[in-house]
Amino acid sequence: MSSKKLELEIVALSHSVTQSHSYAVVLGEVNGVRKLPIVIGGFEAQAIAVALENMQPTRPLTHDLMKNMMTAFDVKLVEVLIHRIHEGIFYAKLVCQSQNETIEIDSRTSDALALAVRFDTPIFTYEGILDTAGLQMDENMPKIEGPEEKKVKSKIPGNQNDLMSMSITELQNMLQEVLDREDYIRAAQIRDEINSRK
């Protein structure tokens, strides 16, 4: 796996069309076209959205509290590094700096992203992770709108067992369909099924 670091930025928060309570934070490659959707829970999505929209809750949320504590003790969040993917799960580190040392702290990726937004800190991953889990967006594909979209949705299997019974070619075609509809959560599931067969 390539160890070259690439910078990412949050480009979207997407709610699942097929599963309630599922969200995807979509990271885009800075100066590139690949997208990296990461499935997260509702609370984490809310924590990221609050910071992205510069909302000020009346009481600090958990990630605000973490930022306040780090600031109080003069600890800076230097970067977030998504350093590994295993069985569809992304692993992240908080690279923190105090006056005396730099420390890497293991973190859930969703928590790391919620802190990155609050600290306005860069997010990185390795090129190999983008090669494995990134999705290439085809800007030339027409978007399906209106009543046609409902027909396409009904053709897309709803659970993991349905995906397992499909061929690689069928999965790749379906992946393009869900990307055209910007259903990044479903796209992540299809991507993981394709990767599990390699």
For the chain of 198 residues, list the mean pLDDT of each consecutive stretch of 10.
86 73 88 91 88 84 94 97 93 96 96 96 96 74 30 45 85 84 79 84
Same domain assignment for residues 95 and 153: no
Helix then strand then coil, in percent of the chain rounded to 5, is 40, 30, 30
CB atoms within 10 A of CB 99: 8
Written as six digits, the tokens of 16 are 């699942």
Same domain assignment for residues 150 and 170: yes
Same domain assignment for residues 127 and 142: no
Looking at residue 56, its pLDDT comes to 78
State which residues form the domain around 163.
Answer: 138-196
Q: How far apart are CA 138 and CA 156, in angstroms?
A: 19
**According to DSSP H, which parts of the chain are helical?**
42-52, 62-72, 109-119, 127-133, 147-155, 160-164, 168-180, 184-196
In CATH, what number is assigned to the domain containing residue 24? 3.10.690.10
Same domain assignment for residues 116 and 23: yes
Same domain assignment for residues 117 and 154: no
Same domain assignment for residues 146 and 98: no
Same domain assignment for residues 36 and 63: yes
Same domain assignment for residues 109 and 167: no
Triad 116, 71, 68: Cα angle to 5°: 75
Domain limit, last residue, from 85, 117, 133: 133
Same domain assignment for residues 128 and 155: no
Same domain assignment for residues 100 and 159: no
Question: Edge-to-edge strands of the sheet including 76-86?
Answer: 102-108, 89-97, 76-86, 123-126, 5-15, 23-29, 34-40, 135-136
Same domain assignment for residues 129 and 169: no
Looking at residue 67, its pLDDT comes to 96
Same domain assignment for residues 127 and 157: no
CB atoms within 10 A of CB 175: 20
* C-alpha distance from residue 149 to each of 153, 179, 184 (Å): 6, 13, 16
Domain limit, last residue, from 84, 118, 133: 133
Q: How far apart are CA 5 and CA 194, in angstroms?
A: 24
**Taking the model in full, what pTM does it have?**
0.76
Number of structural domains (the chain) is 2
Are the C-beta atoms of 13 and 184 separated by less than 8 Å? no
